[in-house]
Chains A and B, each alone.
Chain A
Amino acid sequence: MNKYYSWLILAALIIVVAILPKPLVISPTASVIVTILLGIALVWVLVLTIRGHLIGRRVVFLFIGASLTLPFFMNFEMPIKVSPEVKILYDALAKLPPGSKVLAAFDYDPPSAPELQPQADAFMAYAFKHDLKVIIMGLWPQGPQQANMSIDKVLQYPEIRAKNPKYGVDYVNLGFQSGNEFVIQRMGSSFRGMFPRDIYNTDYDKIPLLNGVENFSNIDFVFNLSSGYPGTVEWVQIAVDRYGVKVGAGNTAVQAPSVYPYLSSRKLTGLAGGMSGAWQFEQATQQPGKASTYVLPQTFSHTVVIAFIIIGNAALMVSYRRSKRGEA
């Protein structure tokens, strides 16, 4: 019978999800009650640990699962404070006059999309609203596809639909090019050399937006969304260092710490790091999107991880105490 339990639970979950009204958002009071219950459960785990009953990893998984899923249905107002890195990025974008040419490098794939896609959406929406001309490319094969998803989404916004941005005039997708940092290096002398055609197989010279765009000297700003290699580090080392172009970046939380040296040396013009960076970027550009929803589960999960670190250290203290008693 035991082996059927997981299937029964799964079936019950599917039925519950199908029955519940959508979108399901519980009231602030109910949200507070759920949060308090979660907190009490964590305190109970702490008490158990102090008493010497160590919990298994399945309990940790259960708490993480609950802390990641329950907040999606909660209704909390979170205080927002835009970090200095995100403010620098936003200020750099805000300084660009209408008609400025921005190169958007999409160097990530779907696993990093929860953190980077909201940044991409916020950026594309901001660019279209402020009449920035966007040239899209990718050093990762999946990058241009992610860009298409973002464009497809923001074109549904009424304000942007009213502006009716046109492909080839207001934005263009040059697609993926293999060669990692050498692509950036070659673009320093000729964009056409690396991207002779766009994703629709249109010749570079026949795309109106690319008239007069030879190399980085014709680009006003580079916005790089990156989750690894090749990515922001390569853009800074080649595009910024050798060709003097301004580069701002959106990074995953894992990668963000490694580009901080470029921020303090002002090689990197702003950084939105991870989910919180995406949330702050959405707030700064006034394009609330998925990051504004995702930040609450992240807050809960961070809190649960901190709680388990405390519980783990309580377990360590208990074991020390026991070993001392044993010695005595």
Chain B
Amino acid sequence: MKREIPLIITFVAGVAFVLQYFIPHYPFNRFENIFSDWFAIVGAFAIWLGALSLMKLCLLNISKKSHDWPISLLIIISFLSIVIAGAIDGFHGLNSVPATSFRDPGTNFDWFYQNVYTPLSSTMFAILAFFVASASYRAFRARNTAATLLLVSAFFVMIGRVPLGDYLSGWLPERMQFSQWANWLMAFPNTAGQRAVMIGIALGTVSTSLRIILGIERSHLEG
């Protein structure tokens, strides 16, 4: 029964969800709201699950004094600091008149968000610029026709997306300027490629969903 019950739930929920899309009448039209509410609730629990799982993993690392355990300690301290700051601000906000939010400018939570979280996460993302440049230098090479086409397209998009493109090609007729080349590349070859990817993903999603709903694909029940 450990396998059959999840399979039955998957089948019933899957079929009901497909039917509600095509039959907008009672009781099928109610399913959409019910399932959407369930999904939001499950999603909210998943956030808690993720947070608790992170705590458990970090506490285990610290107790075992495993490799890089100080980083786990730092994660716990950071996590608790921002949670406590948000909770204090939240309770304070509920009792103040007019009500304030823990997200409001000037709160402790906002201080952490603006001065710790934002600079750290932005720094991590900004480092990408250096790696992209280094990777472009080492890997973006015209070794064959396809690579050369990619290289030429990248050149036009990169130069056409910044003002320098039009500055350099300003002497050309407007439709020949670099920004127009970039627009054309994005609107036609890029769109065609993206459509192909989208259609491929959609077909794959439909076939995988059908396999899961019909119980042919059962790998999600393992582990």
Cβ–Cβ < 8 Å partners of B141 in chain A? 312-313, 316
A contacts with B, residue count (CB < 8 A): 68
Q: Is B93 an interface residue (CB 8 A)?
A: yes
- How far, in angstroms, from A179 to B195 measured CA to CA in the complex? 26
The residue in chain A whose Cβ has the minimal distance to the Cβ of B132 is: A305
Cβ–Cβ < 8 Å partners of A109 in chain B? 121
Give me 29 A-to-B residue pairs in the complex whose CB atoms sit less than 8 angstroms apart, sorted by A's number. A83-B179, A83-B183, A84-B183, A110-B121, A111-B122, A144-B103, A148-B103, A178-B40, A179-B43, A180-B43, A182-B40, A186-B32, A189-B33, A190-B33, A194-B36, A194-B40, A200-B98, A200-B101, A201-B93, A260-B191, A261-B195, A274-B161, A276-B161, A303-B164, A305-B132, A305-B136, A309-B154, A312-B138, A312-B139
Q: Beyond the given A60-B133, A80-B163, A179-B36, please list 9 additional residue pairs across the A-B interface where CB-CB is below 8 A.
A: A110-B118, A178-B44, A178-B46, A186-B32, A258-B194, A303-B164, A305-B133, A312-B138, A316-B143
Q: Is A96 an interface residue (CB 8 A)?
A: no
Residue pair B137, A312 in contact (C-beta under 8 Å): yes
- How far, in angstroms, from A145 to B106 measured CA to CA in the complex? 12
Residues of chain B having any CB pair with chain A under 8 Å: 32-33, 35-37, 39-40, 43-44, 46-47, 93-94, 98-101, 103-105, 110, 113-114, 117-118, 121-122, 124-125, 129-130, 132-134, 136-143, 151, 154-155, 158-159, 161-164, 166-167, 170, 179, 183, 186-187, 190-191, 194-195, 198
Residues of chain A having any CB pair with chain B under 8 Å: 57, 60-61, 63-65, 68, 78-81, 83-84, 109-114, 142, 144-145, 148-149, 152, 173, 175, 177-180, 182-183, 185-186, 189-190, 193-194, 199-202, 253, 256-258, 260-261, 263-264, 274, 276, 295, 298-299, 301-306, 308-309, 311-313, 316
Cβ–Cβ < 8 Å partners of B104 in chain A? 148
Residue pair A276, B162 in contact (C-beta under 8 Å): yes
Tell me the minimal C-beta distance from B16 to chain A in angstroms: 14
Tell me the minimal C-beta distance from B82 to chain A in angstroms: 12
Residue pair B133, A304 in contact (C-beta under 8 Å): yes
- Per DSSP, chain B at the interface is helix
Residue pair A79, B133 in contact (C-beta under 8 Å): no
Residue pair A57, B134 in contact (C-beta under 8 Å): yes
Choose one: B44, B99, B137, B186; the contact of A200 (CB below 8 Å): B99
Top 6 closest pairs, chain A to chain B, by CB: A179-B40, A178-B43, A111-B125, A186-B36, A78-B163, A182-B39
CB-based A-B contact count at 8 angstroms? 172
- How far, in angstroms, from A264 to B47 measured CA to CA in the complex? 37
Cβ–Cβ < 8 Å partners of A316 in chain B? 141-143
Cβ–Cβ < 8 Å partners of A302 in chain B? 158-159, 161-162, 164
Tell me the minimal C-beta distance from B128 to chain A in angstroms: 9
Residue pair B191, A261 in contact (C-beta under 8 Å): yes
Residue pair A261, B40 in contact (C-beta under 8 Å): no
Residue pair B162, A295 in contact (C-beta under 8 Å): yes
Cβ–Cβ < 8 Å partners of A186 in chain B? 32-33, 36-37, 40
The residue in chain B whose Cβ has the minimal distance to the Cβ of A254 is: B128
